[in-house]
Amino acid sequence: MTMVLDRIQTASFSDDLRRSRPRSLWTSVSTRAGTIVVAWLNWLERARERRELLALDDRALQDFGASRADAAREGDKPFWRA
C-alpha cells in the first residue's frame, strides 16, 4: 500500500507543476492515463488486502479487535468499493 500512496503523492505533485503552464494534448492524455493506472493499482492492492484478511484465523483477527463477521463484511466487498 505504501508504494501506491507514494505514486499518488507523486502524481498530485506533478499535477501541481503542470497546472502552471498550458497543457498539450499529449500531456492531458498522459495525465489521465496515469490517473487510471493509479486507480487500477489501488484496486489491486485493496483486493489483495481483502484476500489476506479473509485468510486470517480467529486469533489473528482478535489481535487487532476484529471478529470473523467484521472480516467477512470487509472481505466480501467488491474491489472498487472503499
Give 29-71 pLDDT, tens digit per residue. Answer: 888 899 999 999 999 999 999 999 999 999 999 998 999 999 9
What is the pLDDT, as a whole number, of residue 26?
81
pLDDT at 76 over 70: yes
pLDDT on residue 12: 55
Q: Which three cell numbers stand for residue 35?
A: 490517473
Is residue 61 within 8 A of residue 70, CB to CB? The reply is yes
**Residue extents of the structural domains in the chain:** 2-75
Question: Distances in Å between the alpha carbon of 28 and those of 8, 50, 57?
Answer: 17, 33, 46
pLDDT in tens, 3-16: 555 655 555 555 55
pTM of the entire predicted model: 0.61
Helix (H) or strand (E) holding 80: none
Residue 32 buriedness (CB in 10 A; 0-12 / 13-18 / 19+)? exposed
